[in-house]
A and B are shown apart, each in its own frame.
Chain A
Amino acid sequence: MRTGEIVTAGLLGLFSLYLMWKSAELPVGYIAGQGPGGGFWPFWLSAVMLLACGMIALNWWRGTSPPSQSDEPLLDAYGWRTLALVGGGIVVFVGLINVVSMYGAIAVFLLYYMRFLGRHSWALTLPMALIVPLAFFFFFEGAMRITMPSGMSFTDPVFDVLYDIIY
């Protein structure tokens, strides 16, 4: 935790420097007759953020904030494993959207989560993984007329059938 605290503050500090540099592409001062320039607001806010990161670092050095006094690890083995399995699962889910369509990705994610993380039976997992994406399809495409990503061309036959139902 103690190392994590200063690393986080450092990363946020670097990010605020980047934001300051990026804001300075537009004028950051006062332009007579026009008021403050376009970069004024984000530039000075990023500067305040940098200053606040400095204060966090100072509190870390003096050991006054709770995370800077804690010897606990940032996450224990269980925590890292959960984060990798759940967080990683979400990343793969989003990555799959452009491959197997939004609905396909939902089905894969539900299968993965319920069967492999939740250890639910196939009898529960399979119907859920089928019904939920279908329900989403009829809600978004049918009721709200919002087209979700349909993935690569190999999904077309399935979508042709589904679109025939709603149109």
Chain B
Amino acid sequence: MEILALLGDGMLLALQPLNLSLILIGVTVGLFIGAMPGLGSVNGVAILLPITFLVPPGSAIIFLAAIYYGAMYGGAISSVTLGIPGASTAVATTFDGRPLAMQGKASLALVTAALASFIGGTVANVFFTLFAPALASVALSFGPPEIFALMLLAFATFVGLGGDDIPKTIVSICLGLVLASVGFDTISGEPRLILFEMQGFLQGIGFLVLAIGVYGIGEMLWTIEQSRGEVTTTTPRMTARGMVDDTKEAVRRGWKGTWIGSVLGFFVGVLPAAGATPGSLMSYGVAKMVSRTPEKFGKGNPDGVAAPEAANNSASTGSMLPMLTLGIPGSPTTAILLGGMVIWGLVPGPRLFVDETEFVWGLIGSFYISNLAAVIINLAFIPLFVWMLRMPFTILAPMIFVLSIAGGYAATRDMHDVWLMVIFGLGAFFLRRFDYPLAPAVLAIVLGPIAEPTLRQSLLLSSGDPSIFFTRPIAGPITVIALILIFLPAIQLLRRRRAARRRAA
């Protein structure tokens, strides 16, 4: 009952005029950002973070969370109408969404996506409301070794489950962590890693500089280079009558995928490093696996649209759970939200539920409202978004660059950081070309300032004995799981080699 009362208070807070208008603006901006090919929630949140310093922290995170929500809905729009995923989280939506559009059923695909997203978001919100306080109260007993073990787990999941080239993932993680340690050593107070003796590095490298560099400049260059201006649009014909019929058909043919995506998406989203992209791909796979007509997948099956769309919304809420309760982000977007919270003077983690009750429940309440706002705005404005998608990229791209540079400067007011952002952007473009994953680096630069002190404090507690991470009842299992995940790929490789050798013999 207590939870319901807190949730009620939170919703009232989210419905205050300032917060409600931020939700509506955030959702609309998010829908548009999500719908633009190549731009996803992470780009939107990274580029717009500097301008949220105008409002109080509680409203700022509500705004960013609304963008996150909107972008998850919006991703489907370009997946269906352009055949290009609006974001990596909507890749699986193209599998069946595009064929439906080609058959002239773009409107059915879009309605299915919107309804599935709404149910996915709602299911995840209920799970979130039930699990978050419990997890936070367990996490309250955590000391430095437990927190460091969790950080290790976050990085281990990238190595073990990320699916990218493992040495490259490790390079990305280490690079982010080392860049985070530039500036001053927090314990001894001595200057550290002042690269090339440049004074600008004395204030460290803000995560925003890396995040905007990678997502506002690097990814944009990548999209411009890859798309080469070749985009064909399918325009859905949407009428009120048609939408009612589509809703009926979406419910009839997409309910199974919706439920699979809603539940699976949440739990995949909770895992650090997994997030909405693997969540949506896995849900598509499971929906196909349990379907009685798997051969219809990939040819325009509403279930194939519903599963990934429900999952990406559900996962995006799920990924906020470890961010708020444990202080470890479940996705690149939540890593940026976490960085924002630190800038606003909030300390993510279990204490947040005790010290900032109003903030936490206001945010959770806003999830429900944003979800509702997103489905209404999405359904009402689909034709408008489709029209805007035809805006030439040669107008949108320079606007994003300008926003990135001006926003990046506004955040730190130092030209050194702006140049660094451009260098990171160009570097990210080339690293991406060689399959280096960059999300781990962004996650690492956010987690570095938490991971390093907890490691040092733990080792100080144990007089330098690393067994402290294995002998404590909570830290122990987490460390073991993290180590298994790190060495899992190596073990799999050895097994595969042995099997190949046996076959050869």
Q: Which residues of A are in contact with B by a Cβ distance under 8 Å?
A: 1, 4-5, 8, 12, 16, 19, 22-23, 25-26, 30, 32, 34-42, 45-46, 48-49, 52-53, 55-56, 59, 65-67, 74-75, 78-79, 82-83, 86-87, 90-91, 93-94, 97-98, 102, 106, 109-110, 113-114, 117-120, 128, 132, 136, 139-140, 143-144, 146-149
Neighbouring A residues of B256 by C-beta, 8 Å: none
Cβ 8 A contact of A93, one of B401, B455, B456, B464: B401
Given A23-B193, A42-B192, A59-B165, 17 more contacts at CB 8 Å? A23-B178, A35-B464, A36-B456, A49-B170, A52-B168, A52-B171, A66-B435, A78-B228, A79-B225, A83-B429, A87-B221, A93-B401, A94-B419, A106-B402, A118-B398, A119-B394, A146-B413
Given A67-B435, A82-B224, A87-B221, CB of A35 within 8 Å of CB of B187: yes
Interface centre among B193, B194, B399, B455 (most CB of A within 10 A): B193
Contact status B406-A106, CB under 8 Å: yes
Show 27 residue pairs from A and B whose CB-CB distance is below 8 angstroms, ordered by the A residue.
A8-B430, A22-B193, A26-B190, A30-B459, A30-B464, A35-B456, A40-B456, A41-B181, A46-B178, A49-B171, A52-B168, A65-B435, A67-B433, A74-B433, A79-B225, A82-B221, A82-B224, A87-B221, A90-B425, A113-B394, A113-B401, A114-B395, A118-B392, A118-B394, A119-B394, A144-B51, A146-B413
Neighbouring B residues of A32 by C-beta, 8 Å: 464
Q: Is the CB of B358 closer than 8 A to any CB of chain A?
A: no
Neighbouring B residues of A36 by C-beta, 8 Å: 455-456, 459-460, 464
0/1 interface trace, chain B 419-454, chain A, CB 8 Å (1 if under): 100100110011101111000000000000000100
Cβ 8 A contact of B54, one of A5, A78, A143, A147: A143
Given A86-B224, A90-B425, CB of A19 within 8 Å of CB of B460: no
Neighbouring B residues of A16 by C-beta, 8 Å: 174
List CB contacts (< 8 Å) of B451-476 with chain A. 452, 455-457, 459-460, 464
Contact status B397-A12, CB under 8 Å: no
0/1 interface trace, chain B 150-179, chain A, CB 8 Å (1 if under): 000000000000000111101100110110
Contact status A52-B174, CB under 8 Å: yes
Contact status B434-A90, CB under 8 Å: no
The 9 closest A-B pairs by CB, nearest first: A118-B394, A35-B460, A38-B185, A113-B398, A49-B174, A55-B167, A52-B170, A52-B167, A42-B181
Neighbouring B residues of A132 by C-beta, 8 Å: 399, 402
Closest to B184 in A: A38
Bound together, the chains give a CA A40 to CA B395 distance in angstroms of 47
Q: Is the CB of B405 closer than 8 A to any CB of chain A?
A: yes
Q: Is the CB of B217 closer than 8 A to any CB of chain A?
A: yes
Neighbouring A residues of B174 by C-beta, 8 Å: 16, 45-46, 48-49, 52
Q: Is the CB of B103 closer than 8 A to any CB of chain A?
A: no
Closest to B228 in A: A78
Bound together, the chains give a CA A23 to CA B422 distance in angstroms of 25
Q: B348 CB to closest chain A CB, in angstroms?
A: 21
Contact status A26-B171, CB under 8 Å: no
Q: Is the CB of B385 closer than 8 A to any CB of chain A?
A: no
Bound together, the chains give a CA A8 to CA B457 distance in angstroms of 36
Contact status B398-A114, CB under 8 Å: yes
Given A75-B433, A93-B401, A109-B401, CB of A120 within 8 Å of CB of B406: no
Neighbouring A residues of B429 by C-beta, 8 Å: 83, 87
Closest to B462 in A: A35
Neighbouring A residues of B225 by C-beta, 8 Å: 75, 78-79, 82-83
Neighbouring A residues of B195 by C-beta, 8 Å: 22
Contact status B53-A144, CB under 8 Å: yes
Q: Is the CB of B409 closer than 8 A to any CB of chain A?
A: yes
Contact status B415-A98, CB under 8 Å: yes
Q: B29 CB to closest chain A CB, in angstroms?
A: 15
Closest to A12 in B: B171
Neighbouring A residues of B53 by C-beta, 8 Å: 144
Neighbouring A residues of B460 by C-beta, 8 Å: 34-36
List CB contacts (< 8 Å) of B215-271 with chain A. 217, 221, 224-225, 228
